[in-house]
Amino acid sequence: MALCRNTAIFFLFIFFFFFPISYSAHENKHRNTSSLSLSFPLTLSPLSSKSSATFRASLFSNSKPNPSLKTPSYNYKLSFKYSMALIVSFPIGTPPQTQQMVLDTGSQLSWIQCHKKAPRVPPPTASFDPSLSSTFSVLPCTHPICKPRVPDFTLPTDCDPNRLCHYSYFYADGTLAEGNLVREKFAFSTSVSTPPLALGCAKDPSDSKGILGMNLGRLSFSSQARITKFSYCIPTRRNLPGSLPTGSFYLGNNPNSGGFKYIDLLTFPQSQRMPNLDPLAYTVAMQGIRIGTKKLNIPPTVFRPDASGSGQTMIDSGSEFTFLVDEAYNKVREEIVRLVGPRIKKGYVYSGGVADMCFDGNVMEIGRLVGDMAFEFDKGVEIVVPRDQMLADVGGGVRCLAIGRSSMLGAASNIIGNFHQQNLWVEFDLANRRVGFGKADCSRSV
C-alpha cells in the first residue's frame, strides 16, 4: 500500500479516547503497515544502572508514589523499526512467541493477534497461538475489568457464548476489531519476564501487528509491568524500499539521561471530567512555536486545556504528524505562506484537507527559506526541527510540512507526533511525572 494512503489512514485514528464509537481508533492508525518487513529481531541488553525503588500503585492522574512497592528490575535496551510507526518485537508467552507491536504512548490497551496454527507448521511471528503457551488464560465475564466504564478504561465489553470477556469496537474507517481479554506474560530474557498482564487477543486475520499501549492508564503495559520510566530514540526516516532504520527503546533507566532536559506533566484530578480531554495522555505545557528566528504570535493558552479540555498538548509516539488546533495551525500557515507562498502546491490538500502546506519543488531550497522550526515548552525546553527534516514525503513526489489541523479529526487538541521526535531521546519518567528530551543521532546505536 502506498505511503500516502497509509499516512492518510493514520490521521483518522488518533482521538479514540474522546469518542466512544472510535475508542481504539487511535490504535488502528497502525493497522495498514503490513506491507513492511514482517520480522524484526528483538535486541535485549541488560543495563547495570539501578532501578528506582518506588512505583505508583495506580497511574491515575492524581495518584502519588507508593514507596512500599518495589519495582521489578526491568532495565533493558530493545530495538525497533521505524517507518510511520515504532515497531517493536516482544517475546510473549511460555515458551515465548515473538510478536510485533506498535509502541503507542497514546493507547492504553495492548493487544496482539491470536490464531491457532495448523498442525506441524512452525508458528510465524505474525500471530500468537494461545494453545502453545502454558501461561495463557482468558478472562471470564465476571472479571472486574470486563465491566463497562471501569474508572479509566472504557472499552466496550460483553460476554461471549462461553462466558468469556469479549471486546469489540469500530474503527473510524468502519472496520471492526474484536477478541477476548486475556492474561499473558511478556518475556525479557530466559530468566526475566513480567507476571501475566491483561491484554487483548484480537482475531482479525488481516492484521499482522498489535499495539503496545504505554499511556498513563492502569491497564497500559507500563503500568501493569510497573515500569517507572521508558524512553525511545527515533532515527531519521528513510524512503528506501525494503530498508527501515532501527531505533533504540529503553525499559527502565537510560544511561544517556544525564543530558536530558525535563518538563513536568500537567496533572488532572480523577474527578475532572472534560469532554475534550484525554486524562491518560502525556500532557505538557507548550509555550509557543518558532519558525526561523520568529516566534509566532500564538498565546500560550492555545496549547493548554480550557474548561472543556480543548487545547491539550500531548507527546504521542503513535501519531505520525503533529496536529495543532486551528488558531495555532493558521499562524503557522500564515508564516509559511509569507516565506515560501509561491512554492506551495496550488489546490493540493493531503488526507482530506488535514494538511495543506505541501510542495513538489526543491526540498533543500524550501528548507533554506523557512529555516528551523521549534516547539517551545516551559523551563526553556525546545524540540527543534532542522530545516532539512521539516517535510514528509507523502508520495508522488509531493512533500508536506508534517503538521495537520486537529479540527479535521473531530477534536481540538495539539499532538506532537513521531515525525517531529526524530533524532531525539524522549523519556517518560512516570515516577516523577515528567518528560525528558535529549538530542541524539538515533540512527546510531545509542
Residues tagged active-site: 104, 316
DSSP strand E in 185-312: where? Answer: 197-202, 210-213, 229-233, 246-251, 261-264, 286-291, 294-295
**Residue 31 three-state SS:** coil
Burial of 274 (0-12, 13-18, 19+ CB in 10 A): middle
Cell of 333: 500557515
Cell of 192: 526475566
DSSP secondary structure code for residue 191 in this structure:
S
Identify the CA nearest to 320 among candidates 228, 226, 416, 194.
416
Identify the CA nearest to 281 among candidates 253, 260, 312.
312
Q: Which amino acid is at 207?
A: D
Q: Cβ neighbours of residue 388 under 8 Å, at least 6 residues apart?
A: 363, 364, 367
Sheet holding 322-324, edge to edge: 313-315, 414-416, 322-324, 403-405
Whole-number Å distance between alpha carbons of 221 and 240: 32
| 441 and 423 Cβ atoms separated by less than 8 Å | yes
Helix or strand (DSSP H, E) at 366: helix 363-370
Per-residue burial over 107-129, b if 16 or more Cβ lie within 10 Å, else e, is bbbbbbbbbeeeeeeebeebbbb
**Residue 331 three-state SS:** helix
